[in-house]
Structure 1
Amino acid sequence: MHDDALALAVREPLFASSQSEARQLEARQLEARQLEEPQLEAPRIETIDASAALRVDDDRRRFGGVARLYGDAALDALAAAQVCVVGVGGVGSWAAEALARSGVGCLTLIDADHVAASNVNRQVHALDSTLGAAKIDVMRLRIADIAPRCQVRVVDDFVTPENVADLVPAGAFVVDAIDAPRAKAALVASAVRRRQPIVVCGAAGGRTDPLRLRRDDLARTTGDALLASVRARLRRDYGFERRPGAKFGVTAIHSDEPPPAKRCTAPGAGAGFALSCAGYGSLVTVTAAMGLAAASFAIARLVAGSSAA
């Protein structure tokens, strides 16, 4: 081996060794500088569940008209309210729909009846596609399409004096839209005993003028045989006030329009034919107006305690 080649062979390992040491030195110096510099925290990424905010925003859009009328606090009060509609027929179906469209958050619907062809002229849920279905089920599905966040509880039963306390939620505002005097009296007596607000609907059959609807204390309604029968039962069976002119403290929606002579002219009336119009004809302009008046009274009471009402 020549001297030059030998010198190169000796220098190459030394050069490689010096390069390695230099890289190690640079790495140690960089590490030292990083330790001296303040450490920045990694950026924090928060995952926000926007579903609640979106739901609130959706309600504000759906029921913005109510909020502009009564205020945001009133809309919140309606969303937190519970209303029980007893009887989901010509009057009650309209009341239930109005309450749902006004932002009431929880509804209980009580009825054991089914949709019949004779209901089509006056009940909001009565359609060709719903004939034979349970009224409470049809109404529940309808409300779900109107106000998806509204909680709807359905009770497939008729109110009686024996079961009224079990069927009607204790904390609910009650809308009475049934047409049986015995059941109505039991419902009113139960509500008064439990200090529940209630609005009672009178007879709509045989009436044609919705402008004849009135709102009075149940003890002072006139021209309504159904409510007269309820009053008599309340006094006789439940100890309600008997003094002339004394109020019951229960609001009733009734018509002062005299009904015609009692008759039933529905074709095919007979055994197995359901006609819940107390022997009179019925008109949606009256039954719906009565249900809407009852819902309006309930809404006014429910928002009365809100700061913006």
Structure 2
Amino acid sequence: MWIVAIRQNTGCERLSVPERFLPLYVLPALNEPSTMSSPTAQPDLTTSLDGSETADHARRFGGIARLYGAPALAAFEGAHVAVIGIGGVGSWVAEALARSAVGTLTLIDLDNVAESNTNRQIHALDGNYGKPKVEAMAERIAAINPFCDVRLIEDFVEPDNFAATLGGGFDYVIDAIDSVRTKTALIAWCVEKKQPLITVGGAGGQLDPTRIRIDDLALTIQDPLLSKVRGQLRKLHGFPRGPKAKFKVSAVYSDEPLIYPEAAVCDIDEEAEHVTTSPGHTGPVGLNCAGFGSSVCVTASFGFAAAAHVLRTLAEQARLVRRA
């Protein structure tokens, strides 16, 4: 079978994928009107399966129903979630959602898998180096959850393509981007469009996954990436100021002070913008610094925290609908 994926500036391109990686979803070119289904239009996958497929589905995801409840499982199967950034955090988000029976996933990233990703990204394996991250992740998801439709956008999200890539509507968007400019614009766009979103802060330079928290973006601490994003949202997009003013945007962050490597092993531009991360400590904005170390124990936990938040929200919505 062919998977049709969006590639930067090239429209659609066909990718040859082994039959064991079926089924995957076909996505329209970015310059065409979006045909993404609205969240309410997603099907209950179990109703369209034959007997053997239903039994297989029940074996794979019965544990989800026993934990969250049958209505929540149906909500997960009918949900469409976008994961933006399929790296040290986003790859684990996608993994968790696929293993939780989410019915449709849109994966967005332009990067390829590299050997330097091995310490923190789940798709960084021999045989995947040099492969687009979205493609490598889609192949993995198909082996985990063959009932999941996976849509691939091999591009970076930018303000000029938000409408094309995200305008079709999602039950949730998970932002695992490390660019301050794009992250700021994406959050503002989602808030304006009332698109449910959870954003993820910087996962590098930390050792302790038990320090990870989820709170309103306005209240996060110890995170230079989110600190800069907060400032830009207030300055450029009119988000509220004040110690008690909330943005009504959930954010994953850690309250652990960042660990900076010695100058000899950290290629940090001395002219790079720095912010105060804790009393007496400053650090560069963003996570592109080659010197930031990272632990999979933390990056994966950031991803799992974001995925768990989305699943809890979908389960709660299903519970409320059932009560109504």
User: Shorter-chain TM-score: what band?
Assistant: 0.7 to 0.9
Deviation by residue 1:235-259 (Cα, 9 ceiling, x = unmatched): 1111111233200001101011111
Structure 2: distance between partners of 1:186 and 1:70: 34
Q: Which runs of 5+ in 1 are unaligned?
A: 1-48, 270-274
| Match in the other structure for 2:291 | 279
Letter in 1 for 2:292: Y
Task: Tell me the secondary structure at the aligned position of residue 128 of structure 1.
Answer: coil
Equivalent residue for 1:294?
Answer: 306
Q: How does 1:236-255 map to 2 (within 5 A)?
A: 236-255=235-254
CA shift in 2, pair 1:83/1:50, >3 Å:
closer
* Kept after mapping to 1: 8 A contact 2:218/2:246: yes
Determine if contact 1:160/1:182 at 8 Å carries over to the other structure.
no
Cα distance 1:266–1:81, how it changes in 2: closer, same or farther (>3 A)? farther
**Which of residues 48, 63, 66 in structure 2 aligns to 1:65?**
63
Note if contact 1:77-1:306 (Cα within 8 Å) is conserved in structure 2.
yes
Aligned counterparts of 2:289 and 2:57: Cα–Cα separation in 1 = 37
Answer with 1 or 2: which has the greater Rg.
1
The answer for the alignment partner of 1:56 in structure 2 is 54
Q: Is the 8 Å Cα contact of residues 81 and 104 (structure 2) preserved in structure 1?
A: yes
The answer for the alignment partner of 2:125 in structure 1 is 127
**1:202–1:254 contact (8 Å) kept in structure 2:** yes
Could you tell me which residue of structure 1 aligns to residue 207 of structure 2? 208
Are the equivalent residues in 1 in contact too, given 2:266–2:290 (CA < 8 A)? Answer: no
Distance change (3 Å), C-alpha of 1:218 and 1:154: same
Equivalence for 1:221: 220
Q: Where does structure 2 lack aligned partners over 5 or more consecutive residues?
A: 1-46, 269-286
Question: Which shows bigger deviation, 170-179 or 111-120?
Answer: 170-179
Matched-pair contact (CA < 8 Å) for 1:199–1:250: yes
- 2:106 corresponding residue in structure 1: 108
Structure with the higher fraction of residues in strand conformation: 2
Mark the CA change 1:163 to 1:279 in structure 2 (over 3 Å): closer, same or farther.
Answer: farther
> If the length of structure 2 is used for normalisation, what is the TM-score?
0.74
Query: 1:185 maps to which residue?
Result: 184
Moved more, 246-255 or 190-199: 190-199
Larger deviation, residues 248-257 vs 55-64: 55-64
CA distance in 2, matches of 1:105, 1:261: 40
Counterparts of 2:49 and 2:226, CA distance in 1 = 47
- Whether the 8 Å contact between 1:205 and 1:277 is mirrored in structure 2 is no
Q: Secondary structure at the match of 1:154?
A: strand
Distance, in Å, in 2 between the alignment partners of 1:277 and 1:285 is: 20
TM-score with structure 1 length normalisation?
Answer: 0.78
The one-letter code of the counterpart of 2:310 is: A
Contact 1:200 1:252 in 2 (8 A): yes
C-alpha contact 2:266 2:291 (8 A) present in aligned 1: no
Residue type at the aligned position of 2:70: D
Residue correspondences, number: 257
Residue number in structure 1 paired with 2:171? 172
